[in-house]
Amino acid sequence: MNLGLTGKRALVTGSSAGIGAGIVAQLAQEGAIVCVHGRDAERAEAVAAAIRDQGGNASVVLGDLTTDDGAEAVARSTLAAFGTIDILVNATGGTGDNTFTWDTTSPAQWAEQYELNTLSAVRMIRHCIPAMTKAGWGRIIQIGSIASATPSPPGSGLLRIKGSLARAGSEPCPVTGGHGNHNKHCHIRLCRNPTLEELCT
């Protein structure tokens, strides 16, 4: 497969494991210069090392995207290393302990998950758009879940949080429109990962 990504600089958030790790590895195989993001240095470096072993170009950036300062630091470090960011894939997310229910989950717990699943992407888009606009080219991809539209227990209420990301990725961004930039949302229907395996046992 040749997607014409050779030399493009890509940041994939939440790529130290799971779906994000698969995406960043595939982008590297397509010739992109990638940045592996996570909060655990050992796991992020393992993903980057595997990419390098396959002949890819990968670096690591660490940071907590649930805070303004953390997201800004991740974007700043990536821009310092790459010079610009051509592709942003927002793969950061999670469903917590999968026990969220309407009657027992507190507003604070809901807010915490919105920070992780939605506002993390908002922060990164905000920090990456200026570089894309300056370059006249960019791609922003939101990774969601089909469960945001057709949730299933457990955690069905929580998974609806991803619906806000789906809305953000389904329409043009007025800031990037006309500058060769695109914003898309991808639903992941079924992907084998530790969380899915836990739910099925």
Distance CA 179, CA 76 (A): 22
Model pLDDT, residue 199: 42
pLDDT tops 90 at residue 10: yes
Average pLDDT score over residue span 115-121? 92
Instruction: For residue 16, give Cα distances in angstroms to 21, 105, 192.
Output: 5, 28, 16
Segment 134-182, tens digit of pLDDT: 999 999 998 876 655 665 555 555 566 666 665 555 555 544 445 555 5
- pLDDT band for 71, please (50, 70, 90 cuts): very high
Is 6:87 a contact under the CB 8 Å cutoff? no
Q: Higher-confidence residue: 200 or 180?
A: 180
Which of these, 175, 49, 61, 189, lies nearest to 122 by C-alpha position?
A: 175
Residue with tokens 């507003």: 107
Q: For the chain, where are the E strands, in sequence order?
A: 9-13, 33-38, 57-62, 87-90, 138-145, 181-188
- Rounded to two decimals, the pTM is 0.83
Q: In 3-state terms, what secondary structure has residue 142?
A: strand
pLDDT tops 90 at residue 6: yes
Distance CA 70, CA 115 (A): 12
Exposed/middle/buried for residue 182 (C-beta within 10 Å: 0-12, 13-18, 19+): middle
